[in-house]
């Protein structure tokens, strides 16, 4: 097997083609936020029309009117991904390394790993073929995100390469096939923008049938990652993956976090956390017939015409959550009348009397950015770094119809003319 790998020149290592858009390892994200896309071995095909054209009535002649999304997916069938040899293929491990080092190639650990790249990948293959996992423990640290403390367990580059190859080639393609279309967290072609568009589509469909009469139920799980029971998760994974060696490797990586819970900082944890409540999603769509239903990780919602139906469906779903050991957060789970504003994924939504869906970001995001700009000034951060961070935030804020004038005035006062 290594003869195929060793025949590739070092130049090809540097120029190896990859199918990733961004580094998806939580460990390299200093804010601990789940990245927008989790790269799999699927190929996304972007349609001519976007997600909302069908709902707003501007679909061009000849476009697919039955298509319920902005992209279609072509991939190999599950059995072709269900093979341990995909994990021990040297080229797959090489591509996984190329993706893993994006954005963090300046780190000493990355450069040291690349100095002995062939030997490291060869040793990795031998370890995996013996049924063992590649691990060097965790780099543990705490962050505070929007007032909420998060404990991060970052993995070493040698383990990150294996986890990325495992997820890209096997785990993500197999587990994602059974997910509902409206599960938008961290999958290729999806993410926060996808989920925000889907909730707008669902609101439009509800308005066409019932007007502003109705309710949206917002569901949130309490300590989601910490509550996932391995004894419940393992049978779910084993039902999807037939290869015993592969499922054994997955179990061992999950066991690294103890008898219960999944950790932030592991790609295996990320995709399994997305998959864990899949039975609830199918129950909501197929048994409760909740067409206007969506999920983003542990946050989900559904829209119904009456308060009685909202309470009934919420009770049934809460029993399903309890059966999986991930109880709902009673303080954050709420039933909101559609004539009132509601907040989902840090954005505030409202339906106007004419049916227009109005959306703008939560003002807390503006306050946080102003606080950051002041901190940057106190720390003496270089202007080019401050400018880069500010432009990235401003572009995102404006895309959500946010008013950035307060931040612009503060930026001008602290650093000169705003960008």
Is the pLDDT at 73 greater than 90? The verdict is no
Model pLDDT, residue 135: 79
Model pLDDT, residue 147: 58
CA distance 205 to 56: 10
Average pLDDT over residues 349-374: 91
Average pLDDT over residues 12-41: 39
34 vs 416 pLDDT, higher one: 416
CA distance 57 to 53: 6
**Closest Cα to residue 239, out of 88, 82, 384?**
82
Q: Any idea which of 39-43, 137-141, 253-257 has the lowest mean pLDDT?
A: 39-43
CA distance 195 to 193: 5
Model pLDDT, residue 20: 39
The tally of CA atoms less than 13 A away on the side-chain side of residue 403 is 3
Is the pLDDT at 327 greater than 70? The verdict is yes
Q: Do residues 184 and 294 lie in contact, with contact meaning Cβ atoms separated by under 8 Å?
A: yes
User: Confidence class of residue 261 from pLDDT cuts 50, 70 and 90?
Assistant: confident
Q: Name the average pLDDT for the chain.
A: 81
Model pLDDT, residue 182: 95
CA distance 141 to 134: 21
Average pLDDT over residues 371-376: 92
SS3 151: strand
In degrees, rounded to 5, the angle at the alpha carbon of residue 292 between the alpha carbons of residues 288 and 293 is: 70
Is the pLDDT at 315 greater than 50? The verdict is yes
Is the pLDDT at 271 greater than 90? The verdict is yes
Is the pLDDT at 262 greater than 60? The verdict is yes
């Amino acid at each position: 097997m290594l003869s195929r790998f060793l025949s590739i020149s070092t130049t090809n290592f540097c120029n190896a083609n990859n199918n990733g858009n961004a580094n998806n390892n939580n460990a390299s994200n200093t804010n601990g936020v789940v990245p927008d896309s989790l790269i799999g071995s699927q190929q996304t095909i972007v349609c001519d029309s976007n997600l909302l054209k069908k709902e707003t009535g501007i679909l061009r002649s000849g476009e697919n009117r039955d298509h319920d999304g902005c992209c279609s997916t072509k991939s190999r069938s599950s059995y072709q991904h269900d093979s341990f040899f995909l994990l021990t293929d040297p080229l797959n491990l090489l591509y996984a390394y190329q993706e893993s080092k994006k954005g963090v190639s300046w780190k000493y650990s990355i450069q040291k790993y690349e100095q002995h790249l062939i030997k490291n990948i060869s040793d990795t293959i031998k370890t995996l073929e013996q049924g063992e996992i590649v691990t060097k423990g965790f780099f543990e640290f705490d962050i505070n995100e929007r007032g909420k403390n998060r404990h991060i367990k970052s993995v070493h580059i040698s383990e990150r390469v294996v986890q990325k190859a495992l997820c890209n080639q096997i785990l993500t393609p197999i587990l994602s096939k059974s997910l509902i279309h409206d599960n938008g967290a961290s999958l290729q072609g999806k993410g926060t923008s996808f989920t925000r568009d889907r909730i707008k589509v669902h609101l439009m469909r509800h308005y066409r049938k019932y007007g502003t009469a109705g309710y949206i139920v917002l569901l949130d799980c309490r300590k989601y990652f910490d509550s996932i029971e391995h004894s419940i998760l393992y049978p779910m994974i084993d039902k999807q993956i037939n290869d015993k060696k592969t499922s054994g490797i997955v179990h061992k990586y999950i066991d690294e976090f103890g008898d219960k819970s999944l950790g932030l900082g592991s790609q295996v944890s990320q995709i399994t956390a997305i998959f864990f409540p899949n039975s609830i999603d199918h129950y909501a769509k197929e048994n409760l017939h909740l067409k206007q239903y969506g999920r983003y990780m542990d946050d989900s919602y559904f829209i119904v015409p009456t308060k009685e139906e909202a309470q009934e469906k919420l009770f049934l779903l809460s029993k399903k959550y309890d059966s999986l050991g991930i109880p709902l957060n009673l303080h954050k789970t709420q039933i909101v009348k559609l004539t009132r504003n509601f907040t989902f994924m840090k954005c505030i939504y409202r339906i106007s009397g004419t049916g227009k869906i109005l959306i703008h970001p939560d003002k807390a995001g503006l306050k946080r950015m102003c606080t950051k700009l002041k901190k940057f000034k106190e720390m003496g951060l270089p202007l080019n770094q401050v400018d880069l961070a500010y432009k990235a935030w401003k572009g995102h804020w404006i895309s959500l119809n946010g008013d950035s004038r307060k931040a612009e005035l503060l930026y001008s006062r602290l650093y000169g003319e705003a960008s």
